[in-house]
Amino acid sequence: MSIWTDLTGVDHAVRFVDAGGVRTRALQAGTGEAVVFLHGTSGHLEAFVRNIPAHAERYACHAVDMLGHGYTDGVDEPYRIPRYVDHVLAYLDACGIDRAHFVGESLGGWVAGRLAADHPDRVGRLTLVAPGGTVANPQVMERIKTSTRRAVAEDDIGLTRKRLQLLMHDPAKDVSEELVEVRHAIYHRPEFVKRVDNLLCLQEMENREPDLLSAAQMGRIVAPTLIVWGAQNPFGDIPEAHRMNDSIPGSRLEIFGECGHWPQHEHAARFNRLNLDFLGEAR
């Protein structure tokens, strides 16, 4: 078995797209309206391999390594939220996509939420999966920063395994050795090591606070929005999800039990049914 076994039988391609001058890796599969999948901090497109096959039966799926993540090139500046948004818009333009649905997990949800607030014409429906971006918790920020930096700096795959295990309610079930090896290889790419501080800049208070999704920004979101939250999310308590739900007009909140920070992966079958029903409401 492999994490890529999930894609067996699915016509797909992994391509590099020039997104505004940034060489960007994307997994593309399916036809129809575009659905763009955005991962979390220090993540990569493999976060969605359990979701692409079901979604590709109805939609043109684009799982994208965000700026400076995975095998996408970085830039010599801190990766702030507006810069991530510009990169995603450049990817859409490069692929000839005027409007897409978005599935954003953690940092990806933060970026997708900001994109929906500032560029409503580019967003169809919005799915926010354990999204970040509404609070600045110093303890959580320090945990993300320290665990990621150590796993990148030291050639110890056990540290990468621990970094992934932080995300899951049941690591024994959901953190495979192959997933660990994929992330470990990414963490030790010279490009990634060189710019890891750019990637972690949102864990610094002076960068994070100005970039937080404000109540006013969330109030501007007009895209129908589904929020999915793990009851045991280690990076955000349930009240945070309710505050986001209250701030985005007409949004819907689903809380998954026995679930950490990767609901789309930890409970893939449930998430796929829920999200496909939600996306189908647009038709």
Give all strands (DSSP E) within 90-171, no chain letters. Answer: 100-105, 123-129
Q: Which residue is associated with the tokens 């990169």?
A: 87
Strand partners, 228: 129, 254
Give the distance, in angstroms, between the CA of residue 145 and the centroid of all CA atoms in the same chain.
17
> Please, what's the b/e burial string for 24-33 (b: 16 or more CB within 10 A of its CB; e: otherwise)?
bbbbbbbeeb
Cβ pair 240, 135 in contact under 8 A: yes
Structure tokens at 235: 């990076």
| Intra-chain end-to-end CA distance of the chain, in Å | 36
Residue type, 83: R
Which of 87, 261, 265, 267 is labelled catalytic?
261
> Does 261 qualify as catalytic in the annotation?
yes
**DSSP letters of 158-187?**
HHHHHHHHTT-SSHHHH--HHHHHHHHHHH
Query: How many C-beta atoms lie closer than 10 Å to residue 232's C-beta?
Result: 17
Q: Pick from 107, 97, 102: which is nearest to 40 by CA?
A: 107
Which sequence positions are flagged as catalytic? 261
